[in-house]
Each structure stands twice: as structure tokens, then as C-alpha cells.
Chains A and B, each alone.
Chain A
């Protein structure tokens, strides 16, 4: 089941990744809590990995910045991992 979170860190990462991806339907975001750290795993189609990371990792850095900003609002410390989905 892939219900879209209306708001929060997961929702922010999902909206951004879907805009970047050529295959937005393959974008999946999983959020889990590990002690103080919120781990956000972004799964994208292998063909979209390069787009989501960007030249010099600039897009990945932008995604991390915005994920942290969204986390800040909820008092969460966010780590974003970009992974290859099926």
C-alpha cells in the first residue's frame, strides 16, 4: 500500500522527488525512527538515480536541506538516504 502522506518529512521528500523523476510512479519514501534520528529512505527508479543526486550531488544536497527543514518543524533530526528501487 502506498498511501501518500499529506504532510511531514516524508510528504516533502515525496513531492520533491516526484517532480525530479522521469518515473514519478516509482518514487517511494519510507520513514523510520532510530533513537533521535529519523531515517528517510528515498527509493527511485534506477534511471532516475542520477537526476535525484545531480551534478556534484547538488540535488541530493538540496533534498537533504529541505528534508531537514521539514524535520525541524516537527523537532526531528533527519537523515536522507537515496536508494535504487525496483
Chain B
């Protein structure tokens, strides 16, 4: 897949917004990560990062195909989502430990598919606990429980 096409697209979006910002790319095992930097990129992280999520969705629909295997494109600004993901990972591991220690089921959510994936993978690193997504909407809750 062509990361240059995505960088060009993001630059066109930035120009259209009329903000001073730059696009950085980092290739990771999970796929390319694009981070928009510059003080004015702050407009994208307002309202709990809603504009950023919207931009991610549009990039997925426009350029998401043609990625090999499980790779996916990740759009960030000022490393906002990166920070959020780290927090979510920590919370997931904390709750997994709590489930293990107390034997009580723990819930985390509602989360979107991307966020749930982070939780499932983080909890998988803790032995003796399992995860399951419950609910039937786009957003579901992840149930963390002691392995029976």
C-alpha cells in the first residue's frame, strides 16, 4: 500500500483546514502510523478526539484496502491517540489483575473495535484470565473474568 498517497491526502486536509501542521510517518509491525504535529493540530483532538476518529474512518474507507494481512493504518495528531491507547492498555491490565486477585468479573467499555482489540491483547498477557466482548452494537463492553 502507498503511504505517500495517505501523506498527500493528510496534507491536503491540513491545507483545507488552513492550519500549520506537518505529517510524520512511522512504519510499525501493525502498519503505518501517521502523526500530525504542530500547535494548530490541536483542533483535531478537541471533543475527545472525535475529529481524529472521523479522519481515521475516512482514511480507512478511502485507503484501507490493499493492506497486507492484519495491518491497518493509524491516524494520530500530537500523539493524542497513542497516549490514550497506553492508558487503555494499563487500565486493561489493571482490571485483569483485579479479576485474578478477587475472582470477580470486571468490565471495560463501551469500546469500539479498535479499542477492544487493545484490551484483548493486553489482557492476554496476564495468565489465568479471559476476555469476551458482550453486546451487539458497534461499541461493545469487554468482560474480563477468571479462566474457569
Residue positions of A touching B, CB distance < 8 A? 5-8, 11-12, 14-16, 19-20, 51, 54, 56, 58-59, 61-63, 65-66, 69-70, 72-73
Contact = CB atoms under 8 A, between A and B. Distances in A.
Contacts of A56: 138
Interface of B: 9, 12-13, 15-19, 43-44, 46, 50-51, 53-55, 57-59, 61-63, 138
A8 B18 contact: yes
Nearest to A18: B12
Contacts of A63: 54, 58
Q: B12, B16, B57, B138 — which one has the most chain A CB atoms within 10 A of its CB? A: B16
Given A12-B13, A16-B13, A20-B58, A73 B51 contact: no
Given A65-B50, A69-B44, A7 B16 contact: yes
Contact of B43 (A8, A15, A73): A73
12 contacts: A12-B13, A19-B58, A19-B63, A20-B62, A54-B57, A62-B53, A62-B57, A63-B54, A63-B58, A69-B17, A72-B43, A72-B46
Given A16-B13, A54-B61, A66 B18 contact: no
Q: Point out which of B17, B19, B50 has the most chain A C-beta atoms below 10 A from its C-beta.
A: B17
Contacts of B43: 69, 72-73
A12 B61 contact: no
Contacts of A7: 15-18
Contacts of A12: 13, 16-17
A27 to B, nearest CB: 13
A41 to B, nearest CB: 17
B18 A15 contact: no
A77 B46 CA distance: 16
A11 to B, nearest CB: 4
A4 to B, nearest CB: 9
A45 to B, nearest CB: 15
Contacts of B63: 19
B44 A62 contact: no
A66 B61 contact: no
